Structure 1
Amino acid sequence: MRIKLSMIWATILLIAPCSCSPSLETLATLPLWIENVVVRANNKLLLTTLGTATIYTFDPSFPSQNATHLVTIPDANGLVGIAEISPDVFITAAGTWNFSTGDIISSASIWRVDLRKNAPEARLVVTVPESNLLNGVAALPGCNNAVLVSDTFAGIVYKINVKERNYEPVIQDPLFAPPDAVPSLGVNGIRIHGGYLYFVNSDQGLFGRVPISRTGHATGNTEVLFRINATETTYMDDFAIDGLGNVYIATHPNILYVLDRYGKVKTVLDRTELNEPTSAVFGRGRAKDRLYVTTGSGKLVAIDRRELS
């Protein structure tokens, strides 16, 4: 996420072009910046948006239907990261910003959204007064009461205890920090996989990882896996990790990189249809090879992962 919503020196790693020509299927369009996406167990998608603090839902089983309103978070005008902590219970980060100037109007907050009943229930978990931009959200494996959340302006990762409704900083590292003062962006999208917290630092132009404990604390050194030369319009945002450990990085203005499990990077998409990609996630179960990508231009698109090799 880049609050201004405005729209490579050669990369430090040699990025191989992809000989593939994958098809993009546009599933839904909204007149909003779609910031993040998560997949429910029934393979319905939840989309967070900027401008209305609304979660939309989309059912890929009915592709002729558009995304529909699910729930709006009060006292906010934007939702950022979202993650599932237990079946059909989700945590999302909210805030209020002036999208024209980039000014922050209120502190960031964390909300719990329960979809187990007929009507969605949204409840405030905690406000983080010292944070202006809580961004990426990652559920801690094996724990249904805690998430890690990135603070993009401060370069900090917080652990949010949903049950106790409190928080603590658990990771603070120069590789998570923004390179300059606000509104420069530091740690953005985060995911947990195989005992590591993987992360994007948007304005440092890096993708890295750090080993973490079961409680979310760093247990070793942070390592950089991939770098680009970030600019105002070219920067990594969020990403998805498949079951084999390959990483698919949504990169503005219209790029999808793949960092495979052997450390090789290639550009698998560089298309104008992928306008301002913000996040990515894989389907579940039989849809595990379907990669969903959201965009700041208000699109939800689908790509067959098998076409990206």
Structure 2
Amino acid sequence: MPRLPRLAGAAVAAVTVSVLASATASGGEPGGEPERSDARVVARFDFAAGQTPENIALERDGSADLAFAFSRQVANVTPRGRTRILATLPEVRNPNTPIVHSAVVLGIARAHDGTLYVTYATGTRKTGIWRITRDGGTPEQIAKLPADGLPNGLALDEHRGVLYAADSVLGTVWRVPQAGGTATKWAKAPALAPSRAPSGGFGANGIKVHGHAVWVSNSDRGTLLRIPVRPDDSADTIETRATGLDGIDDFAFTGRGHTVLAALTASGQVALVRPDGTRTIVLARKDGLADPTSVAVRDRSVYVPSAAYFTMRDPNLVVARLPWRAG
């Protein structure tokens, strides 16, 4: 495994500073003591090799597919913690990605047939959405996105046959046919933009399709947003569903309702966010988290990857079963 290059190391530091600034600007941390859990670290990764897990998709067998941001890789982790590299995104000469300045794999989504889709940000024409077959192998670019953007979270709506990508720098949600093709600007608004643009910062970050709407987190603003999908598939007016989620990254729904588990990277916590916007901390550093970046839920099991952007040690995958009623 190649060592993390000096440029990528500087990029990790840039991410750290930017997210810390976002958390400081948006106020204090959500209150409340973590609820009881039986959290355990099922796999640990190599920070120096760029194995910083940024996002997650679950397989039917209970294994997890992870996007390793700075190693440009997608890996599968079994329930027993065995890690296998599925694919590596192509190296980019002189990457010029906004904020991070390195080529990074960020979002990941899985189709029912096992096909994986990832966002790849490079600052070049290779920036876009890439497809990986269920058996891994050589990734294929299926859509280009602006080189001056930072495509981050990725969500798949198989019913409509489209992918949605959240651009953290351009404050945009891009819509791309699942089969590949031209990206269209589906939603763009101040609520999606970084609060410190154009000097840097992360706006739209995590993204999910849920309940006839596209939900997006804004890291700079500490908000959780809902964008209803109109009958003609266009974006309706953006609704703010929760605020004060300092340093929020990606998130997941606990069930068919609107209760969310959100990764709060800067504070090293996971918050349970209720439909009325109130929240409780349910996982923290004492549970093994090392700067969590995303969440996935299956039944009562919660999977939380940590990239260790601040601690710079012990990036890992934590699995827990928490005592809440899904809603």
Give the TM-score normalised by structure 2.
Answer: 0.79
157-166 vs 198-207, greater mean Cα deviation: 157-166
Q: Paired residue for 1:82?
A: 108
Q: Paired residue for 1:28?
A: 43
Q: Establish whether residue 68 from structure 1 lines up as the match of residue 81 from structure 2.
A: no
CA deviation vs aligned residue, 1:254-275 (integer Å, no higher than 9, x gap): 1111112344311222325311
Judging by fraction of residues, say which structure has more helix: 2
Percent of pairs identical after alignment? 21
Which residues of 2 match residues 197-212 of structure 1 at below 5 A?
Answer: 197-212=214-229
Q: Establish whether residue 250 from structure 1 lines up as the match of residue 260 from structure 2.
A: no
Runs of 4+, deviation exceeding 6 Å: 8-14
Look up the SS of the partner of 1:166 in the other structure. coil
The CA deviation at 1:185 is 1.0
The CA deviation at 1:210 is 1.6
**19 and 28 in structure 1: CA distance in 2 versus 1, 3 angstrom threshold:** closer
**268 and 17 in structure 1: CA distance in 2 versus 1, 3 angstrom threshold:** same
Q: CA RMSD for the aligned pairs?
A: 2.8
Q: Paired residue for 1:6?
A: 16
2:60 and 2:120 map into 1 onto residues whose CA distance is 23
Q: Paired residue for 2:193?
A: 177
The CA deviation at 1:290 is 0.6
1:218 and 1:3 map into 2 onto residues whose CA distance is 35
1:44 and 1:212 map into 2 onto residues whose CA distance is 31
Q: Paired residue for 1:122?
A: 139
Which residues of 2 match residues 175-254 of structure 1 at below 5 A?
Answer: 175-180=191-196, 181-213=198-230, 216-219=233-236, 221-228=237-244, 230=246, 235-245=247-257, 246-253=259-266, 254=268
**128 and 240 in structure 1: CA distance in 2 versus 1, 3 angstrom threshold:** same
The CA deviation at 1:11 is 7.6
Q: What is the one-letter code of the residue matched to 1:85?
A: A
Q: Paired residue for 1:99?
A: none
Q: Paired residue for 1:136?
A: 153
Q: Paired residue for 2:320?
A: 303
Question: What 5-or-longer segments of structure 2 have no aligned partner?
Answer: 1-10, 18-22, 93-102, 309-314
Conservation of the 8 A alpha-carbon contact between 2:34 and 2:284 = no
Question: What 5-or-longer segments of structure 1 have no aligned partner?
Answer: 97-103
Instruction: Give the aligned length.
Output: 287
Conservation of the 8 A alpha-carbon contact between 1:107 and 1:129 = no
The CA deviation at 1:204 is 1.2
1:5 and 1:281 map into 2 onto residues whose CA distance is 22
1:44 and 1:257 map into 2 onto residues whose CA distance is 23
1:4 and 1:10 map into 2 onto residues whose CA distance is 16
Q: Paired residue for 1:49?
A: 68
The CA deviation at 1:19 is 6.1
1:204 and 1:11 map into 2 onto residues whose CA distance is 6
Look up the SS of the partner of 2:270 in the other structure. strand
Give the TM-score normalised by structure 1.
Answer: 0.83
